[in-house]
Structure 1
Amino acid sequence: METKKKGFPTAFWTCAATEIFERLSYYLGRSLILIFATATVATGGLGLSDTVAANMQSNLTAFSYLLPLFGGIVVDRYIGAKYTTPVGMMIAGVGYYMGSVATTATGVYAMIFLVSLGLALFKNGPIIGRVITEKEQMDPAFAMRYTLVNVGAFIGTFLVGILYKDVFAKDGVLGFAPCFKIAALIMFLGACWYFFVCWRFLGDVGKRPFKKTKTQEELAIDAEKTVEEKKETKKEPLTTIEKKRIGAILIASLFSIIFWIFWYLGYLPVYYYWADNMNWVVAGYEVPSTWFDAANSMFCVILGPVTAALWRKLAARPQGDMSLFRKTGLGIAIIGLGYIFYAVIDIARGGHKASVLWLIVFAFLLTLGEMFFSPLGHSFISKYSPSRYLALMMSMWGFATFIAAKSYGPVYGILFGGNIPFKTACIGIAVVSFVAAAIMIALDKRLSALVD
């Protein structure tokens, strides 16, 4: 399947649109966990502590990135991603339905397991990485995919705040169960979209395990090999350049742990610290806390086309685009600026409640840092991962997010749940971010040499 110079193929757009269904459900359910778990039993919640709720949410985030390692092995070696993806969406839909009938923490953990298992088989990213065949198109394509991802995330996080407390609330009982059921229904509809629409345009892409398909670059390298070199290749699973590229992917994944710990950590003060230290009423309406997630998604939708155009323009330069490593360093530095802004708000309010509108600025900084990093990881892996390890490498990138997701709950307890002043904790995070960014940028040339 060839990529047109002036745009992306229809298969890209239909596959990328599938992300709207998946992310809408995911963020609707993920945002609701913090509120559902801590709400009193009388209002339809579980009556648990904020620490337990934070760990529940972190587990959903973490295991939705851990189990894809298993899914990566499946689609790389045994079953084509074209088949596993709609099945995974159906399993995740069953998981969200389990959340709608949960009356104990055990029910929530059952939901977390089924959703994570479903997302393990949801391999839309690797498929997009093979629908787009030109490396120069990868960064813009994955930036646009990220825009569609966040269309779903925005709708989910924006609607959930209205649905659970306004539309479905009745006689003092909040509408948690109907919201989880909506998340389940959307996943089932997404599976139908994938099966009846995406399949028409994918052709042979994703039909076979990725190890049985090769990129044009890999085919060209094979064609240049001598008979003896081909024999050696059969004995040696990975060539030298393949080993270096996998090493570069693993190094970038390590730095992504730092990025995602601080990114996820930035959300929790919104629900807990700023819940008590900000005025959440704007024009007579009490703003739902989940709208902070919606602001992040909205900025992703806005910045997606902007960054896609930026990467196109930079790639057209004689020296080419910036490397992923430099972009990652800039992204981590921008996250650090966000925490400096948090500290400034806390100092400036002087013991009074600040306006919740200030969180819009933090959401913008959080998103700007995200756009310099998150959409490009899968693009980087699609460019340089050996085909037989494509899905596994994407899952390894997700494994780094798993580590971050399992870490940010305990880190929150240490930095924001103890005796450390809020502004001091924020400045400390910012310093670590700036140091990590400086190291990443300083190592840029050496790391980039691994993939060339």
Structure 2
Amino acid sequence: MSHSENTSPSHAVIPAGSGALFFIQTFSTLGFAVLYSTLVLYATKRLGFSENQANAIMGVFGAFNYGLHMFGGYLGGRYLSNRNLFVLGMVLQVIGCALIALAGVSGLYWGLAMFLTGSGLNVTCLNMMLTQRFAPEDERRESAFLWNYAGMNLGFFVGFTVAGYFQLTENYRALFLFATLGNAAAIILTLSRWNILKDINTPLKQVNSRQFMQRMLVGIAILLVLVPIIRVLLTQAALSSYFVVALGIIIFVIMGIVTARHRQRDEKSRMKAYLLLAAGSLVFWTLYQLAPMGLTLFAENNIDLNVFGLRVAPQWIQDINTIVIVVGGPLMALWFKKLRQRGLRIDIPLQFSGALLCIGIGMLVLPIGIHFAGENGLMAFKWIVISYVFQSIGELMISPIGYAMIGKLAPARYQGVMMGCWMMVTGVGAVLASFISGLMPANTGSTPAVTNPGYSQVFSVLGWGSVATGVMLMLLIPVLRRLIQREPA
């Protein structure tokens, strides 16, 4: 089918391949959801890692996963093709999950390195395969990405739910083998729609067959080199964590210098706004990334997980986030639309401020729950539900507009770099979350009554810190709006 046939609204509701990518997205998310929600518990309960070691590995895992996203688009578009890199990445994820399931500590680092290389690179490839199904002016693209986002959240929901089911019996081998099946299903679906999902307009399409093979070999060599590099970085998680933070600081300073030297005044103002908003968002993403680390260990040890006679697995708590995103996303969009119709200005600075206030409240709810804990020191389950609802509302305010912000604030020649910086913020946030998790009380050999005061203090400091940052951004809203506002031509 030609490109024009593939994108004409009169030929189909959605272009061929878009529907398949919904299911591919769902299955490809399963493995990541399992590892994201279970890695810290598996490392501490089965492999004998300390909580600090497990948190450090999870922090590096999150940092490099986000950091590889930008490189994935480059590698797919110029060397391997997006569909080839996606399948190769999924193959690495299958092998990685199998190693984690079957080889214990010896397989953990190699398994994580393979999985992380695959998941970090192929997320961008899947998005590129979807966006290329549409012509630039095709208005159905936004709807397709909303469906794809729903598919991703469906994958997270299933992954978290199954992870929790196996967590109750600590049957980690079966859980990680389940993850391999989900990843394998994504490969089979991609291969079944192989011709339809081919790249349409990438730099790789412009080369001859000999150059194509040369680039393929280079791309495969890059994958083979990345795996051992990431394995080493994972085994040196503490050192890698400091490296990621240092790199984040260097990149931020460089962006500050580039902004200061930029000559076009209108663009320079928006770049200043971007730097202020990115700095504020670091607080949000640091607190948000506590979910698979310190908050998971807190839930496992200090919350009464027996609800209405049912034992709740820690991974199931993260389903609260998925449900709020899927249900609350459309409702929030509708609510914001009505507020704008009434003349209220709902824009990027206001939403960033609101996100920080919401996640701050989500943290401050926890010390209240701890205060009302039972005689055994266990906090009632309802408090973690309230906390996650506030955190998820905050995510709805900041996450969808984060990427859109780049197109609005970044000059055309800096968009790629500034998108990479935005991803780096999330990666640095994951590392900082691991540091904060390390400040939380050690649960091994202790009781909830003993560790509750330490948890309460950490959550209070985090909550008030986020609220204070949100208030500061709120006070800066008039300044940010002036910086963002485009001067009349």
Q: TM class, shorter-chain normalised?
A: 0.7 to 0.9
Q: Does 2:113 correspond to 1:113?
A: yes
| Shift of residue 78, structure 1, vs aligned partner | 4.9
Match of 1:81 in 2: 82
Q: Which amino acid aligns with 1:86?
A: V
Q: Residues 151, 3 of structure 1: CA spacing in aligned structure 2 closer, same or farther, 3 A cutoff? A: farther
Where in structure 2 are the equivalents of 1:301-340 lying within 5 Å? 301-310=326-335, 317=341, 322-340=346-364
CA distance in 1, matches of 2:9, 2:334: 16
| Shift of residue 313, structure 1, vs aligned partner | 5.9
CA distance in 2, matches of 1:413, 1:357: 25
| Shift of residue 432, structure 1, vs aligned partner | 1.6
Q: Which moved more, 1:61-70 or 1:22-31?
A: 61-70
TM-score after normalising by structure 2: 0.71
Match of 2:367 in 1: 343
CA distance in 1, matches of 2:334, 2:8: 17
Q: Which amino acid aligns with 2:109?
A: Y
| Shift of residue 136, structure 1, vs aligned partner | 9.1
The question of whether the paired residues in 2 share the 8 Å contact of 1:336 and 1:431 is answered with yes
CA distance in 2, matches of 1:157, 1:333: 27
Q: Residues 3, 82 of structure 1: CA spacing in aligned structure 2 closer, same or farther, 3 A cutoff? A: farther
CA distance in 2, matches of 1:368, 1:321: 19
CA distance in 2, matches of 1:346, 1:33: 26
Could you tell me which runs of 5 or more consecutive residues in structure 2 were left unpaired when the two chains were aligned.
208-261, 443-450
CA distance in 1, matches of 2:140, 2:30: 26
Q: Residues 132, 390 of structure 1: CA spacing in aligned structure 2 closer, same or farther, 3 A cutoff? A: farther
Q: Residues 34, 344 of structure 1: CA spacing in aligned structure 2 closer, same or farther, 3 A cutoff? A: same
CA distance in 2, matches of 1:439, 1:431: 12
CA distance in 2, matches of 1:119, 1:374: 20
Q: Does 2:322 correspond to 1:297?
A: yes
Where in structure 2 are the equivalents of 1:35-184 lying within 5 Å? 35-39=41-45, 45-75=46-76, 78=79, 80-104=81-105, 106-122=106-122, 123=124, 124-126=126-128, 128=130, 131=134, 133=136, 145-166=148-169, 174-184=170-180
Q: Does 2:469 correspond to 1:436?
A: yes
TM-score after normalising by structure 1: 0.76
CA distance in 1, matches of 2:432, 2:182: 30
1:278 corresponds to which of 303, 311, 315? 303
The question of whether the paired residues in 2 share the 8 Å contact of 1:339 and 1:429 is answered with yes
CA distance in 1, matches of 2:274, 2:23: 27
Match of 2:426 in 1: 401
CA distance in 1, matches of 2:438, 2:349: 30
Q: Residues 186, 313 of structure 1: CA spacing in aligned structure 2 closer, same or farther, 3 A cutoff? A: farther
CA distance in 2, matches of 1:429, 1:372: 19
The question of whether the paired residues in 1 share the 8 Å contact of 2:167 and 2:313 is answered with no
| Shift of residue 390, structure 1, vs aligned partner | 6.2
Q: Does 2:35 correspond to 1:32?
A: no
CA distance in 2, matches of 1:112, 1:450: 45
Three-state SS of the structure 1 residue aligned to 2:200 is coil
CA distance in 2, matches of 1:430, 1:350: 23
Q: Which amino acid aligns with 2:31?
A: S
CA distance in 1, matches of 2:14, 2:264: 32
Could you tell me which runs of 5 or more consecutive residues in structure 1 were left unpaired when the two chains were aligned.
40-44, 167-173, 213-236
Q: Residues 195, 265 of structure 1: CA spacing in aligned structure 2 closer, same or farther, 3 A cutoff? A: same
Q: Deviations over 1:271-320 (max 9, x none)?
A: 333433332212333211111122222222222333454566678x5979
CA distance in 2, matches of 1:253, 1:15: 31
The question of whether the paired residues in 2 share the 8 Å contact of 1:22 and 1:89 is answered with yes
Q: Deviations over 1:317-369 (max 9, x none)?
A: 59798333332221121101111211211122265433223322222111111
CA distance in 1, matches of 2:59, 2:356: 20
CA RMSD of aligned residues (A): 4.0
CA distance in 2, matches of 1:110, 1:156: 22
Three-state SS of the structure 2 residue aligned to 1:119 is helix
The question of whether the paired residues in 1 share the 8 Å contact of 2:270 and 2:483 is answered with no
Q: Does 2:484 correspond to 1:448?
A: yes
Q: Residues 334, 419 of structure 1: CA spacing in aligned structure 2 closer, same or farther, 3 A cutoff? A: closer
Q: Does 2:22 correspond to 1:19?
A: no
Q: Which moved more, 1:369-378 or 1:382-391?
A: 382-391
Three-state SS of the structure 2 residue aligned to 1:354 is coil
Match of 1:254 in 2: 279
CA distance in 2, matches of 1:77, 1:64: 20
Q: Which moved more, 1:147-156 or 1:372-381?
A: 372-381
| Shift of residue 253, structure 1, vs aligned partner | 3.6
1:353 corresponds to which of 354, 363, 378? 378
Q: Deviations over 1:241-262 (max 9, x none)?
A: 7777666555544333211111
| Shift of residue 89, structure 1, vs aligned partner | 2.2
Match of 2:455 in 1: 422
The question of whether the paired residues in 2 share the 8 Å contact of 1:210 and 1:390 is answered with no
Three-state SS of the structure 1 residue aligned to 2:463 is helix
